[in-house]
């Protein structure tokens, strides 16, 4: 009788890499301000102040090569507790105060990490946006009236004041692929939107959003459309604006929906990361939006709950998130916020 051996071959497929959240070293102090993160051409990330109460009167710079933070020089004459920042075309960083009583502006030299005080803005603004146009100028938009100001880097001066069609406090501003500026929400008519054309210096209205939105988030998609998510007390689905057709369309909602304080970051492959947010303290949730299928998928939980974190995509495609509000508690009529100096990196799948 012959014995036969049985050979069994098992085909094991390599599993695709999963998205991960990895803790990294913490900043030198707590910071909160979702509009003050800037990526330098050399790959370093600048968080231009945006401190929480009790934090340092400096910005901070993250170097992904060494996984280390370096504080900038002190900001004269005082801190920006809430700030917006933008990368100017000469490689320096412009930072402006966004609180109602803060009109100051500083420019950071990325080599020396020293701040220079430049001319203050003419008007008081609230929850403004700061956007660099293709001609190199920077527009600061956001006030309870319609006024905005433009910064000229060549003279380090502000020109005041142009007017939007509607007030834009707590709105968003997105530079479109053709160089025009799209602003949406905020102000006294928070479902409205309009477009600024730098070639003519004029504003034109576009159709309104389906929902009123303040303190929402917006991001430019790779195909030129704009995704808008959330807003104070907004439970409606996100919306997408198409500049070519000048039309809005509603899209699917993320499963872990937070109304405000979330970060939207465009990934290298054209998908969008949504992370954190929350009205009463932060959340650890994150999801990824696919603009092609207009669907959301889970991206795992962050290690720390965050609302209004500083967030940006690094040159290698990973996403850096740091700081933000971790918790918010009320006892009687007194409310207390807890901020975090922790940081982590998201690696997409």
Q: What sign results for the dihedral spanned by CA atoms 162, 166, 169, 171?
A: negative
Whole-number pLDDT of residue 281: 81
In the numeric block, which tokens belong to residue 243? 């500049």
- Spacing of C-alpha 188 from chain mean position: 23
CA atoms lying within 13 Å on the CB side of residue 49: 31
Whole-number pLDDT of residue 222: 98
Q: With 0-12 CB in 10 A as exposed, 13-18 as middle and 19+ as buried, what is 124? A: middle
- Spacing of C-alpha 27 from chain mean position: 18
Whole-number pLDDT of residue 50: 59
- Spacing of C-alpha 131 from chain mean position: 12
Question: What are the structural domains, with CATH classification, of the chain?
Answer: 31-163 (2.120.10.80)
Whole-number pLDDT of residue 257: 72
Per-position pLDDT tens, the chain of length 349: 444 343 333 333 333 468 899 999 999 888 877 688 999 999 999 998 756 555 567 889 999 999 999 999 988 766 777 789 999 999 999 999 877 678 889 999 999 999 999 999 998 887 889 999 999 999 999 877 789 999 999 999 999 989 999 888 899 999 999 999 999 999 889 999 999 999 999 999 999 999 999 999 999 999 999 999 999 889 899 999 999 999 999 999 998 877 889 999 999 999 999 999 987 788 999 999 999 999 999 999 999 999 999 999 999 999 999 999 998 877 888 888 888 999 999 999 9
Whole-number pLDDT of residue 52: 58
Tell if the pTM clears 0.85, that is, is over it.
Answer: yes
């Amino acid at each position: 009788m012959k014995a036969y051996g049985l050979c069994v071959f098992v085909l094991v497929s390599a599993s695709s890499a999963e998205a991960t959240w990895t803790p990294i070293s913490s900043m030198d102090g707590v910071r909160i301000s979702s509009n003050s993160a800037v990526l330098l051409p050399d790959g370093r990330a600048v968080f231009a102040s945006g401190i929480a109460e009790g934090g340092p009167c400096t910005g901070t710079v993250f170097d992904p090569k060494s996984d280390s933070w370096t504080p900038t020089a002190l900001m004269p004459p005082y801190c920006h507790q809430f700030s917006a920042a933008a990368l100017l075309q000469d490689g320096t960083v412009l930072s402006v105060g966004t609180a109602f009583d803060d009109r100051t502006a500083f420019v950071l030299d990325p080599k020396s990490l020293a701040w220079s005080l430049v001319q203050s803005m003419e008007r008081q603004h609230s929850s403004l946006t700061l956007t660099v146009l293709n001609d190199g100028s920077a527009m600061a938009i956001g006030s309870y009236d319609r006024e905005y100001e433009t910064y000229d880097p060549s003279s380090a001066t502000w020109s005041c004041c142009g007017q939007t069609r509607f007030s834009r406090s707590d709105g968003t501003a997105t530079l479109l692929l053709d160089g025009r500026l799209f602003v949406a929400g905020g102000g006294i008519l928070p479902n409205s939107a309009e477009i600024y054309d730098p070639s003519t210096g004029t504003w034109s209205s576009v159709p309104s959003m389906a929902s009123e939105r303040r303190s929402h988030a917006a991001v430019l998609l790779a195909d030129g459309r704009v995704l808008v998510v959330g807003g104070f007390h907004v439970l409606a689905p996100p919306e997408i604006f198409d500049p070519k057709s000048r039309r809005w369309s509603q899209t699917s909602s993320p499963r872990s929906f937070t109304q405000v304080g979330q970060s939207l970051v465009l990934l290298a492959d054209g998908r969008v990361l949504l992370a954190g947010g929350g009205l009463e303290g932060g959340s650890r949730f994150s999801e990824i939006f696919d603009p092609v299928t207009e669907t959301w998928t889970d991206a795992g939980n962050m290690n720390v709950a965050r609302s209004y974190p500083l967030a940006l995509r690094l040159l290698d495609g990973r996403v850096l998130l740091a700081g933000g509000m971790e918790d918010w508690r009320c006892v009687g009529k007194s409310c207390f916020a807890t901020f975090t100096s922790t940081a982590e990196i998201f690696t997409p799948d």
